[in-house]
Amino acid sequence: MCSDNDFDEKKIRAITVTFLKGLLSAQVDKYIHLGGENGFEVSFSELKSLSDLFLKEIESQHLPEDEHSQKIGKNSQDLRDDLAYKLQQYSLPKGYELIVVATGVKSEESLARTGAWRSLSNLVKFQEWKKLSTGGAQPSNFFGAAIAIAVAAIVVVAIIFLVVLPRLLTPTPEVSPPPQEMNPSNPEEEVNPEQVDQNSSIRDLISLKKDLKPSVK
């Protein structure tokens, strides 16, 4: 007897196994027919019996310790069959967000970054499984990343308190322009234009009188 979570896990493994073996589409096509109001009809009772048949082949043994590590390989039928057998026999590994990735366009580097338990791609050249990490590496990476983020946050806060805040809290002295020096002995006087014109006129009249005065011989 198993819990609902265990039952869902077995259904996921059963669907993945039939997909890896290339049986899923062929089996499902038998129960989908053209016709009806929507253009096709589905025999849900037969699909349910097919699902039950898949589940009967799924075991729940504990995954061996040497199978917990992350592995990648070429998307060949040999590796697909090997993976299908392991999923059929063993429970899913713990600590992985992604379990299986099967694609035709992902490189080895891209598959390694996904962090999946098992990854298959046409672009990978390895005919056998290649181990990328040991079991439990993902939780360690998670906690390591969390510690690194915490340390970085502490450093940033320390810089703010030690450098930035003192500069912001220190009042900036106001710089006043230097006063203009005045020479007391020669104070600047305002020049009246009218006074300048009058003085010029008086000088002109005096000069004219001198010119008109007869000379005595």
Interval 103-161: pLDDT, tens: 999 999 999 999 999 999 999 998 999 998 654 444 434 433 333 333 334 334 344 44
Q: Which three-class secondary structure state does DSSP give residue 42? A: strand
| Same domain (yes/no): 88, 119 | yes
Q: Are residues 74 and 42 in the same domain?
A: no
The CA-atom distances, in angstroms, between 112 and each of 9, 61, 138, 180 are 24, 27, 12, 75
Q: Hey, which bits of 11-162 come out as E strands? A: 32-34, 40-42, 70-74, 100-103, 118-121, 130-133
Give how far Cα 8 sits from Cα of 12, 24, 55, 174, Å. Answer: 6, 18, 10, 73
Report if residue 101 sits inside a domain: yes
Q: Is the four-CA dihedral 42, 43, 48, 49 of positive or negative sign? A: negative
Q: Could you identify the residue written with the tokens 């713990």?
A: 94
Query: pLDDT digit string (tens) for 190-205?
Result: 545 555 455 555 565 5
Query: What pLDDT is attached to residue 172?
Result: 53
Which among 38, 58, 78 is the end of a domain?
Answer: 58
Q: What is the number of structural domains in the chain?
A: 2
CB 6 within 8 A of CB 60: yes
Are 80 and 132 contained in the same domain? yes
- Domain boundary among the residues 130, 155, 180 is at 155
Give 83's contacts (C-beta < 8 A, 6+ positions apart): 20, 100, 118, 120
- Range scoring the smallest mean pLDDT among 61-75, 91-105, 153-167, 181-195: 153-167
Q: Is the residue at 185 inside a domain?
A: no
